[in-house]
A = this chain, B = another copy of it.
Amino acid sequence: MPPTSIRDVAKLAGVSVGTVSNVLNRPEGVSQDALTRVSHAIEQLGYVRNDAARQLRAGVSSSVGFVVLDGQNPFFNEVVRGAEDEASKHGIAILHGNTDEDAGREGMYLDLFEEQRVRGVLISPYGDIVRRLERLKARGIAAVLVDRFSGNGRFSSVSVDNVAGGRMAVEHLIETGRRRIAFVGGPFNLRQVSDRLAGARVAAESSGERVDIEVLPVEALTVDEGVVAGRRILDRPKRDRPDAIFAANDLIALGLLQALVVSRQVLIPDEIALLGFDDIPFAAAAAVPLSSMRQPSRVIGQTALRILLEETNDPELIPRQTVYLPELVVRQSTVKDAG
């Protein structure tokens, strides 16, 4: 079965290839007669446009790449989902790449997407890739940073104010009477992590109370790393333990929770309060329902894609930083009788 081309359609409809193309792309300038004849021919042959040829000639791609920091994190899945919904409205497909906090994979996917001449790239960056993105831009491939404020203002970004989020988080812990607060997170070259910590410090310093922030670094933002950190806390004598933990994200928090709850040595929130970040769907279903800083994840994805398309339509647009404020969701891991 030879795949049918626009030429086959033209022959069957008794028109020229140009007319078929017009039917496909600018039907308003085609006569009723031609329009129906071509439509029938398309139907009859089961013709489907070859996007490679279209892209080659028209120079317009109908796919967008999304380089995701952590595919196992439900937060990012929500973001992707938001972008997908928006993309599908425009007949655009999303090329998907997981980096899992690995700069090598990040580069590989950018290479791949450059070969594909994607319309643009959404990326939650891990390494320092501004130069890489500059190069793509020079090639006409726009990029929008997701979940990360753009350092130098050369690219648009859609993110949450992580400093404010960290501040709000720790303010909540202080308000509920905590003074010895541990921040569990890492790696610190992730801007999200260091910003949240910075916010935490701001809250501690401006509280007017004596508040300690102790930093417990972990290797990655995963449940497993959270468990490891939890065990390390359990190893300490009771009096040396913090009275609250602010986890850099919910995966860490769930890991901590698991370690602490399983041990049966620690009461949450009585002895240690626990607060996460992202408010993933599983946070509410945890052993002790998890308080968390909610990010508007779907909206982030949707907005990022929308901005990307706007920029590819008009490359002269000035990059803009879109920042949402996270929202505190209080559950029983910080307040015993919370809803």
Taking Cβ atoms with an 8 Å cutoff, the residues of A that contact B are 1, 3, 46, 48-53, 55-56, 61-63, 65-66, 71-72, 74, 77-78, 80-81, 84, 88, 91, 93-98, 105, 108-109, 111-117, 135, 138-140, 223, 254-255, 257-258, 262, 281-282, 284-289
Chain B residues, Cβ within 8 Å of A116? 51-52, 62-63, 93
26 sample A-B contacts, Cβ–Cβ < 8 Å, listed by A number: A1-B139, A48-B114, A48-B115, A48-B139, A49-B115, A62-B112, A62-B115, A63-B95, A71-B84, A72-B81, A74-B74, A77-B77, A84-B96, A84-B97, A88-B105, A88-B108, A88-B109, A93-B95, A93-B96, A95-B95, A95-B96, A223-B281, A255-B285, A257-B285, A258-B285, A286-B287
A287 and B287 contacting across the interface, CB-CB below 8 Å = yes
Cα–Cα distance between A294 and B105 once the two chains are bound (Å): 28
Nearest B-chain residue to A259, judged by Cβ: B285
Q: Knowing A254-B285, A258-B285 touch, does A81 contact B71 (C-beta < 8 A)?
A: yes
Cα–Cα distance between A113 and B94 once the two chains are bound (Å): 11
What is the copy number of this chain in the assembly? 2
Chain B residues, Cβ within 8 Å of A109? 88, 93
Cα–Cα distance between A3 and B117 once the two chains are bound (Å): 11
A3 and B140 contacting across the interface, CB-CB below 8 Å = yes
A93 to chain B, nearest CB (A): 5
Chain B residues, Cβ within 8 Å of A257? 285
B56 and A50 contacting across the interface, CB-CB below 8 Å = yes
Most chain B beta carbons < 10 A, residue from A1, A88, A98, A116? A116
A250 to chain B, nearest CB (A): 10
Chain B residues, Cβ within 8 Å of A88? 97, 105, 108-109, 112
